Structure 1
Amino acid sequence: MATQKTAASDLAVGGAEEPWGDAELAEVRAELEADVARVRAELDELATDFEGLLRNPGDGAGDDQADVGNANFEREHEISLARKSAEVLRQSERALERMDDGTYGVCESCGGPIGKLRLQAFPRATLCMTCKKKQERR
């Protein structure tokens, strides 16, 4: 568990927002740390499943094309889930790092405040709403 290096009240907030309170930031940190633990467990389970599949892929004898196609679809789906989980893990760890170094709440694109309410709703956010909308339009 990372130690909090920056005071909650020193983190960026939107113009009309109250500064972060210690309890508010602790709640967001706990949520992110729980996400990290959950996703790591998911990825470990997926890795174990993949290892088992690689050790015993089956010989394919007697499988028709539908069975093979279904198995390939399921494997691709699991790989896609693993990629998404790995991205959530990366984002959550990055948010915790930003809390520690004092940049949590600062938009990585324009340098303005992301907004405390936005971060409470989506703790992994790295862009303010204006920059996020611009990014989605591209």
Structure 2
Amino acid sequence: MMEDPLEIVAALRRATQLLQGFAPDVELLVEALERYLATGGATPLEECLGLAAAPGGRSWAAQEAQERRDRALRAMARQTGWGAVRMASEIAKYAGNGWTRDKARATLPDRYAGTYKQHLFEAFRAAPGGDVPSSAKQIRRIVSGGH
């Protein structure tokens, strides 16, 4: 692994040359790296990639985590057929009991596989700080595809 910053910059410059003309997704990365290198690193790479959060906005990582959380809750709704009130109740119970025990786990407990608790675990794992809504109104909005 390279540790010398100048070697890393040289490797990035070589990579941008080698990757030019590839697929549009790769070209996007090449252009972002070129912008980053052109500023001598003064512009954060996240900004060059177009990933910087707007002032007062949420980071791309927070948005992605919320989407993973919401997908897990929608999967739970599909699997169980429960309404928002029942889901809110189960979320509150898991937050107060199950998550307290499970949050130290890196992986899904085997006993949850294929059950609604798998989706609860995934929702809480995805949510920063275990921020999973437990109000029926919020659950209804998420399950219906809103954010």
The verdict on a shared fold, with TM-score over 0.5 as the criterion, is no
- Give the TM-score normalised by structure 2: 0.30
